[in-house]
Structure 1
Amino acid sequence: MHVGVLGADHTWFMTTLMICYILTPLIEKIWKRIQYKKTKWGILVGLFIVPFIMAYLLPNYIFFITYHVCFYAIVYYVGSNWERLGKSTNKSAVIYFIVMCLAFATRFIGRVMIDGTKLYNLVIVNYTHYVAAAYIFMLFSIIFSKVKMLKIVQLVEGISFEIYLCHYMFIVGPVSVMYITGNWIINSIIALLFAVILHKLSKGIRKILRVHST
């Protein structure tokens, strides 16, 4: 999706992210008011199926917003009940890994066989994207619960959002550093370092602004 600035294409999701944040209090109230377990599972299944139907009924620009909201409502429920629903066992880790691999395999096969179709572009791509992301998250939650790497996790978590927002500028944008050397691995590390430096600078600027505003 072109947004006007080369290297900022991936920031299209910010609009949808803000919409999900705005709807969070409403989603929370709805889940809390539902008392029956069967009703909750019925809504979860419905939220999972609705995007498939919307892909064929709604214009693409509306679909791309509404389907994120459906999956966000599912993720919010699972996240709110993770201590009850999640299982940090080796068996669970294996299951999560298998599901993650199946999601990637489905996307790869779909791209080879039906690339360019609505079924692939809107359904398979989006479903496998969410499923793979969810199970990667759950898999790593088990790994990090068993390995004492809290400080490393906190460090990465503290800078990951800003790095995601700006790293692409240093890959394909007007300040691309991907041609400094002939090695793409070294270039990727350089791009990551630039993103970290930019994060540190922005953090320092925010601190200065806070001091002057008080």
Structure 2
Amino acid sequence: MLKMNIGKNKEDMFHTQKFNFEDFLSRYIDEPEEMEIFDVVNALKPFQIEVGQVWVAGGAVRKTLLQKEIDSDSDFFFSNKEALVAFKQYVKEEGGKLSSETQHQETYLIDIQNKPRVIQLIKIGFYENVSKLLDTFDFTITQFAYDGESLYAGSHSLWDLSRNRLALHKLTYGVATMRRLIKYTNQVFIACAGTMQSILEEAVKNPDEIKSEIKYID
């Protein structure tokens, strides 16, 4: 049965939708359990154990919803530093090799189901819950997360994804958002004039959010 829950963040009123991921996919995919994201999740056992502490979010989840191959990295986010350290240790024990590192993220290469995978551990922040995590994402089509049990989505994310609509949720890292705007419009997503205007207005209103040194994920 499809499960849906609309959750409210009391502080910022950000809403998330919650579904059983496999049940959701089964509405339009014959064998949802065969999707790549489940191979990645099942291979990383602590991810399944630490529900509420570790999430894979952004592009890997979006591509799963679009029935596309996960041809780039899978980005993992954490509730605290301890969860990050424990997860990183497990990745290393399973043969993961560090390929690059910045102050904001660590990238590992690991074989899963005889296929090389790129796992990115995000250190730019820690999140009390999945709503607070998704609320930091810039575009609505990036507001997807999976905790090993449930799919989480922003209140407009599924709607905008189905319409290939690129809509701004929040400007947090201005230059990175502009870079991602170009990337997504080179794919199938359409940014209307209102989207570009809202990015410019937010940058003028909050110039500290430009943060050109940050190369964001997804």
TM-score of the superposed pair, with normalisation by structure 2? 0.24
Give the helix-richer structure, 1 or 2: 1
Higher relative contact order (CA 8 A, sep 6+): 1
TM-score of the superposed pair, with normalisation by structure 1? 0.25
Give the strand-richer structure, 1 or 2: 2
